[in-house]
Amino acid sequence: LGDRHRLSPISWRSWKLQRAARSSLAAEAQALSDTIDEIQACRLLLLELMYGPVQLRYAREHLDEFLQAVPATVVTDAKCIWDATRSESSDLGMSERRTGIELMAAKEEMAATGLELRWGHSESQLGDGLTKPSASARTLEFFRSGQVWRLVYDELMQSSRNRKKVGKGTLD
């Protein structure tokens, strides 16, 4: 975190949600759950590529331990998701119970498997360049730099707009 590193985006997609979402938080929670499922499948595949086939019977009993062997990070620009997963209450303090349950399950799975969740301001998100014309320069910069990027940690959790006002760059 903080330093520039080479990375390989394994997957990116834009898709219609499987269920109707009652709020933007519910939509972000669904997207997080889908992302976790995909990352966990990728981690298991990488584990098999590194160490050979995993015996299914053994894997069921030790899946969390196996997944911890392959570090992974989910990066979101949804501050509501970041805040909700930091809550200690049983329903994450939400009026939408389904969303609270979905986020609680995601939070527990991330903790059990060592999957890290990071928040990053919207302009540090590489995927935006694939759907938003205004962000395409950022994605091109990533590929031109040899796929080097930096996870930006901002202890003030400032939005991109507020970062610009104080003169901070995309990766500062």
Q: What digits encode the pLDDT tens for the residues 77-115?
A: 888 898 888 877 756 566 788 888 899 999 999 999 999
Residue with tokens 């009652």: 22
Q: Report which secondary-structure segment, H or E, holds 149.
A: strand 148-150
How do 115-119 and 72-76 pair as beta strands?
Answer: parallel
pLDDT at 155 over 60: yes
Q: For residue 37, what are the CA distances in angstroms to 42, 105, 119?
A: 9, 12, 19
| Predicted local distance difference test score (pLDDT) of residue 141 | 85
pLDDT at 127: 76
Q: How far apart are CA 112 and CA 94, in angstroms?
A: 23
pLDDT in tens, 3-51: 788 887 777 766 777 888 888 889 999 999 999 999 999 998 998 898 8
Range 57-90 burial, b when 16+ CB lie within 10 A, else e: eebeeebeebbeebebebbbbbebbbebbeeeee
